[in-house]
Amino acid sequence: MEPVTSSPTAAPPRNAFREQQRREAHERYLDCARTVFERLGYHGATVADIVTEANGSRATFYAHFRDKADIAAALFERALPPGAAIYRLTADFPELTRERVRDWLDGHVLGFWVRYRVEIDVINHAIADDPGAAARHYRWITDAARELAPYLVRWTGEQEEVGLTRASLLVLQLERLCYHWLVRGVEHDRGMLLDILADLWYRELVLLREGPR
């Protein structure tokens, strides 16, 4: 009878370990970039500031990011999953009413903008300086509009692009208003703006749901 031996725990493949290290370094630079951008602002911050905050090196930074605009866009893209989830909530309304739209705006949309104000601020500065960041930002707008898919089912064939464009403009309008209001600090009466936004979104969602005329 052969002796029973315990099999040693297999070590993770070297490539998997390196990939984990790469992901951890990537996230560390993003976290440090957020800290630096919050403290110094987008234009006041430099790659050197981010590298110092991360206790890293320029070589490591440039192994992950092209430049300051690139890390700003990557930082913003970490906020995209919760941002997309907000727009998906519109499909869960038991009934589409103006009151439910207003509650959604007040309870979910505005909270998102306050929570991710640093990420939103830096991407808005980056898109002014870098065409690549601007293109990535606009793709987010259209991707967010696609989360309104339940309201776009009647927009098919030649009308598909029309429906998506209407939804994209709705998202872009909200994005611009919230940026100037909640990030840049332009003063507005919260109740008044919520009433106006609820009117606009309710009316447009009804039109989208009904489809092309």
Mind giving me the DSSP string for 167-181? Answer: HHHHHHHHHHHHIII
Q: What pLDDT shows up at residue 12?
A: 55
Q: What global pTM score does this model have? A: 0.83
Report the C-alpha gap between 87 and 73 in whole angstroms: 21
Q: What pLDDT shows up at residue 9?
A: 56
Residue 108: C-alpha distances to residues 37, 72, 102 (Å): 25, 24, 10
DSSP-based three-state secondary structure for 111: helix
Q: What pLDDT shows up at residue 14?
A: 66
Considering the domain delimited by 77-210, tell me its CATH architecture.
Orthogonal Bundle (1.10)
Report the chain's C-alpha Rg in angstroms: 22
The ranges assigned to domains in the chain are 14-65, 77-210
Residue 61 pLDDT > 50: yes
CB 103 within 8 A of CB 95: no
Report the C-alpha gap between 94 and 103 in whole angstroms: 13
Q: What pLDDT shows up at residue 19?
A: 85
CATH number, domain 14-65: 1.10.10
Residue 150 pLDDT > 80: yes
